[in-house]
Amino acid sequence: MSGHYHHHRAHDLHSSEPRGRLIIRPLPRLRSRRAFLGDLGGGALALAVLTPVAIAACSDGESGEGSDAATPTPARSEEETTSTVATAESGDGDESAASDSVAEETSDLRWARANLGFVSAYVVARGNRAAVIDTGTAGSAETIGQSLGDLGLNYNDVESVILTHNHGDHIGSIGDVLTMAVNATAFAGEADLGGIDGDITGLVGGEDVFGMEMVATPGHTPGSMSAIDHGSGLLIAGDALIIAAGRAAEPPAEFTADAEGARDSIRALAALTFNTLLVGHGDPIESAADESVAALAASF
Ligand SMILES: [Zn+2]
């Protein structure tokens, strides 16, 4: 997948509009809500991969929707949609009891991926509160809004926006997102603030934002931040890691400010305990993700 991870493609992608027309697709909302609500409150990790909101994925993103493309691969046509909703902590709940409980306060964290093509942003939620992690390239706010919708929420419910670092494919829609998320406070690593417009609160690591611990993971950029939800075992690492072929991997050196620092940060992440790993580039690892990161760190 040579084109899968290239920051310089950001401009190409957001200057081409086919992507935009793909993001508006009716969602099976009832099904999706029940899929996650039914899982609230249990033990094992459960996932509901939902019908797509999204966009043609990745490298040849300009060719358009998977099923309409001239030569869709089997993977593309199955995976053409890319909105994923999951409960980070879940179990065998009673689905029928769940339908009206969306506003109920709960500590359970659930998440949705806004797959923006070659980069992803994420939404996490607890009850009727949400946080947005990264904002994609310019023009991504609507797709992120769809991911909020997948969780039964909208921009008014967003109380935090966390930027993992200041690269354009992660901060490109921060202005639009903050315009819509009128109740939100935005955060990013202190050392990355210089590259981000707007009213952003600096982080140095160790803070609690939306019940998640902020972990300084410098290297890819000086101010790179990761977020871990200890309760549900969810790590969001931005570009401190990528995921390739189902495994954690180093971010490409050509886009990484300090490769040795980035390795130190990967070592630090490898010392944490988590089950699910979400990154900017690559599909989530949803089971025993810490083992994959530990294996990577051990390979240095
Ligand atoms: Zn980056």
Q: Where are the domains of the chain?
A: 9-91+103-298
Q: Lowest mean pLDDT: which of 17-31, 76-90, 116-130, 185-199?
A: 17-31
CA of 280 to the centre of ligand 1 (A): 8
pLDDT in the model for residue 45: 35
CA of 7 to the centre of ligand 1 (A): 7
CA of 5 to the centre of ligand 1 (A): 9
User: What digits encode the pLDDT tens for the residues 220-264?
Assistant: 999 999 999 999 999 999 999 999 999 999 999 999 999 999 999
Banded model confidence at residue 88, pLDDT cuts 50, 70, 90: low
CA of 239 to the centre of ligand 1 (A): 5
CA of 238 to the centre of ligand 1 (A): 7
End-to-end CA distance of the chain: 23
Phi, psi of 188, rounded to the nearest 5 degrees: -160, 165
The SS3 call for residue 202 is strand
| Model confidence pTM above 0.85 | no
Residue 95 has pLDDT above 50, yes or no: no
CA of 40 to the centre of ligand 1 (A): 33
For strands 200-203 and 185-189, give the pairing. parallel
Phi, psi of 94, rounded to the nearest 5 degrees: -95, 105
Q: Lowest mean pLDDT: which of 45-59, 96-110, 209-223?
A: 45-59
pLDDT in the model for residue 286: 97
CA of 208 to the centre of ligand 1 (A): 23
Q: Dihedral through CA 267, CA 169, CA 279, CA 249, nearest 10?
A: -50
For Cα atoms 255, 261, 264, give the angle at the middle one, nearest 5 degrees.
Answer: 125
Q: What CATH superfamily classification does 9-91+103-298 receive?
A: Ribonuclease Z/Hydroxyacylglutathione hydrolase-like (3.60.15.10)
pLDDT in the model for residue 85: 76
pLDDT in the model for residue 124: 98
CA of 196 to the centre of ligand 1 (A): 13
Paired strand residues for 122 = 113, 133
pLDDT in the model for residue 224: 98
CB atoms within 10 A of CB 3: 12
H-assigned helices in 18-129: 18-22, 29-37, 74-79
Residue 161 has pLDDT above 90, yes or no: yes
CA of 172 to the centre of ligand 1 (A): 12
CA of 294 to the centre of ligand 1 (A): 21
Q: What is the average pLDDT across 190-196?
A: 96
Residue 151 has pLDDT above 60, yes or no: yes
User: What digits encode the pLDDT tens for the residues 39-82?
Assistant: 333 333 333 333 333 333 333 333 333 333 343 344 433 334 45
